[in-house]
Amino acid sequence: MRILVVNPNTTASMTATIDYAARSVAAAGTEIVTLNPDKGPVSIESQYDSAYCVPGLLELIRAGEASGFDGYVIACFRDPGLEAAREIASGPVVGIAEAAMHAASLVASGFTIISTLPRSIPVQYALARKYGFERHLKKVRAAGVPVLELEDPRSGAADKVKAEVEKAIAEDGAEAILLGCAGMVELARRLTEETGVPVLDGVTAAVKMVEALAGLGLKTSKACAYDYPRAKPYSGIFAAAAPGAKPANAAE
């Protein structure tokens, strides 16, 4: 089985961290390839960033289809471009926020999300509503750290995240914690051990979900919503991204 993990930002060091986490949980026989686009934002902290990361993300998914990957992980807790990726992918595509919420709901009656900056708070509430986990969500908290500070061990970002985790357990009654940024992936295991509460990162959860779905032989449904885009020309700098004919083996 081959899984493509896409970090939608262009920071290679974060891609390497995500790759290490994904490989650490992959089953024997699963090949993990982790890539980031060569164009777009260095971090994703706003709706504007999210919009501009999507073309590069979809470019990698299209290339992944040509290379025969069995499934895909979108490694950003905003799950940018998820539905569009499902339209062009034959195998399952899982976003890390979606995966983390599903996993947490199976091991706890309620969870809190620890995000980076305050502006991410309404985004995470909206995703919980969209995915049907609003009743499981206790609260969304922001650690007040820019994404790239998570890459710097001298920034104090890890301590700020831990402080919010402890508040979530004590004040929110959270029985599980979701780390709301792929850049926090290295903290999950340590914080689980230190707090005694399941602390989940979405990258590892998403990898295991893609393994399970692909292992069951499940593909992305092309019956309606996630059908391949209709062939049509695109203009200007997006001309090369224009959707072409359906794959020969695609259902009509």
Residue 251, pLDDT score: 45
Q: Is the pLDDT of residue 112 over 50?
A: yes
So where are the chain's domains? 2-96+205-241, 97-201
Residue with tokens 């979108």: 74
Contact (Cβ atoms closer than 8 angstroms) between residue 22 and residue 32 = yes
Span 133-158, average pLDDT:
95
CATH of domain 97-201: 3.40.50.12500
Percent of the residues in the chain that have a pLDDT greater than 70, as a whole number: 97
Residue 185: how many CB atoms within 10 A of its CB? 24
**Residue 39 in 3-state DSSP?**
coil
Residue 244, pLDDT score: 86
pLDDT digits (tens, 9 = 90+) for 148-184: 999 888 999 999 999 999 999 999 999 999 999 999 9
pLDDT digits (tens, 9 = 90+) for 211-231: 999 999 999 999 999 999 999
Q: Given this chain, do its domains 2-96+205-241 and 97-201 carry the same CATH topology?
A: yes
Query: What confidence category does residue 96 fall into, taking pLDDT thresholds of 50, 70 and 90?
Result: very high
Q: At what angle do helices 157-167 and 188-195 cross, to 10 degrees?
A: 40
Residue 182, pLDDT score: 94
Fold of 2-96+205-241: Rossmann fold (3.40.50)
Span 29-34, average pLDDT:
98
Q: Locate the DSSP E strands across the chain.
A: 2-6, 31-35, 71-74, 93-95, 111-115, 137-142, 176-179, 199-201
Contact (Cβ atoms closer than 8 angstroms) between residue 74 and residue 95 = yes
Token pair, residue 171, equals: 């004040």
Residue 252, pLDDT score: 40
